[in-house]
């Protein structure tokens, strides 16, 4: 029995429900020894800003129980490099491409999307609203409904491509932000971004990360992510791209049961460089074993 794995994430047709989480896979080239990127439902590229950012000082990571903290600071070479170097490479490999868009101001998000509109190889956008907004003293866009509305509606005006909005879990009620993004024109939502955390070296009496706090990811966050996907699924009608600690096919199936149409594999890529492929194969085996003919049957199928 051949299982249908194709899903439609807000207008983005994915050959299977699996992509990589932005920032864990660069633009795919680094994983080419382990993964044929054309096999993925999509490749989500590392967050890109207008002219590039140098990122944060090191140490940028800390291993924590069943997870890790990172404060890379969205180091990236800017949208021009992505368009000239990374997107053409991905297209040569026949990959489906989601570009993760970052900005420190409303204007920057808009300018990045406008630049990418001139690039044929981009199949969808994922707007990372977890960036600090320099215009409002560094407050994260994604925690403020007004800022979310502004970013999403301005990006919406500039593109007909599928627009995915990536939500931060560091809010009191994620459904408020989710509904705001939906009303502002998002085609899909992705969640969760990392949870803010901290690691301390008791002997040095310092934080391990140079920036003191960072984003927690990995298996440790999976229960939190599942709960947030489920809550969001019950609150909006647009499809969800679920992520947070997925390392195998069964993890992915759990996210789909909670309401995700597609899933992203993030930190697991660091543990196992072919984790994305393992997740695709794991979903397929689950469907075969369970007599599921179409993976879409799993979406929100929690009893």
Partner 1 sequence: MERLGDSKMTCVLERKAQIKTNKHLTDHLYVMELIVEDIPSLVLPGQFVHVQIPGMEGHILRRPFSVYHTKQSENKLTILYQIVGFGTQKMTTLGAGDTVDVMGPIGHGWTIPATCQSALLVGGGVGAAPLYMHAQELYKADVSVDVVLGAQTEAALVCKDRYEALLGQSVPCSTDDGTYGYHGFCTDLVSKSLDKRSYDYVACCGPEPMIKAVCAITLDRGIPTFVSLEKRMACGIGACLSCVVETTNGLKRSCVDGPVFNASEVIW
Query: Applying CB under 8 A, which part among 56-64, 96-104, 141-149, 167-175 lies near partner 1?
Result: 56-64
List the x/- string, 250-279, binding to partner 1 by CB under 8 A.
-----------------x-xxxxxx-----
Any catalytic annotation for residue 131?
yes
Tell me how far CA of residue 183 lies from CA of 82, 220, 226, in angstroms.
30, 32, 23
* Site for partner 1 contains 91 (CB under 8 A): no
* Site for partner 1 contains 67 (CB under 8 A): yes
* Site for partner 1 contains 33 (CB under 8 A): yes
State whether residue 195 is helix, strand or coil.
Answer: strand
Tell me which residue of 119, 101, 100 sits closest to 110, measured CA to CA. Answer: 101
Of residues 70 and 96, the one with the C-beta less far from partner 1: 70
CA distance 170 to 166: 12
* DSSP letters for 16-65: SSEEEPTTSSTTSGGGTTT--GGGSS-EEPPPB-SS-B--PPSP-EEEET
Which residue in 3, 10, 22, 25 binds partner 1 (CB under 8 A)? 25
- Answer whether the bond into residue 101 is a cis peptide, omega within 30°: no
* Site for partner 1 contains 24 (CB under 8 A): yes
- Supply the minimum distance, in Å, between the C-beta of residue 66 and partner 1: 5
Which residue in 3, 9, 31, 240 binds partner 1 (CB under 8 A)? 31
CA distance 11 to 159: 13
Of residues 83 and 181, the one with the C-beta less far from partner 1: 83
* Maximum alpha-carbon separation in the chain: 58
* Site for partner 1 contains 72 (CB under 8 A): yes
The DSSP letter of residue 294 is B
Query: Applying CB under 8 A, which part among 54-62, 97-105, 224-232, 235-243 lies near partner 1?
Result: 54-62
CB 216 within 8 A of CB 67: yes
* Site for partner 1 contains 130 (CB under 8 A): no
- Supply the minimum distance, in Å, between the C-beta of residue 71 and partner 1: 10
Which residue in 8, 38, 81, 170 binds partner 1 (CB under 8 A)? 81
Active site residues: 131
């Amino acid at each position: 029995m051949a299982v249908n794995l194709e899903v439609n994430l807000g207008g983005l047709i994915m050959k299977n429900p699996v992509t990589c989480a932005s920032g864990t896979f660069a633009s795919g080239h680094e994983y080419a020894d382990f993964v044929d990127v054309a096999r993925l439902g999509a490749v989500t590229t590392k967050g890109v800003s207008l002219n590039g950012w140098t990122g944060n000082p090191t140490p940028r990571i800390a291993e924590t129980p069943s997870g890790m903290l990172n404060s890379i600071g969205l180091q990236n070479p800017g949208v021009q490099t992505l368009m000239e170097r990374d997107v053409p490479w991905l297209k040569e490999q026949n990959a489906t491409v989601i570009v993760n868009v970052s900005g420190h101001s409303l204007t920057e998000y808009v300018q990045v999307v406008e630049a990418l509109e001139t690039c044929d190889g981009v199949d969808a956008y994922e707007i990372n609203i977890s960036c600090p907004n320099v215009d409002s003293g560094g407050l994260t866009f994604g925690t403020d409904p007004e800022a979310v509305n502004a970013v999403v509606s301005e990006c919406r005006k500039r593109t007909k491509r599928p627009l995915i909005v990536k939500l931060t879990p560091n809010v009191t009620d994620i459904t408020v932000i989710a509904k705001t993004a939906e009303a502002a024109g998002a085609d899909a939502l992705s969640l969760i971004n990392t949870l803010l955390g901290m690691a301390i070296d008791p002997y040095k009496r310092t934080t391990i990360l140079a920036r003191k706090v960072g984003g927690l990811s990995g298996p440790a966050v999976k229960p939190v992510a599942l709960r947030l996907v489920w809550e969001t699924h019950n609150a909006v009608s647009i499809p969800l791209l679920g992520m947070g600690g997925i390392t195998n096919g069964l993890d992915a199936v759990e996210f789909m049961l909670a309401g995700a149409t597609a899933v992203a594999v993030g930190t697991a890529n660091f543990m196992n460089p072919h984790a994305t492929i393992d997740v695709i194969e794991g979903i397929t085996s689950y469907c075969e074993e369970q007599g599921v003919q179409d993976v879409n049957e799993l979406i929100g199928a929690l009893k």
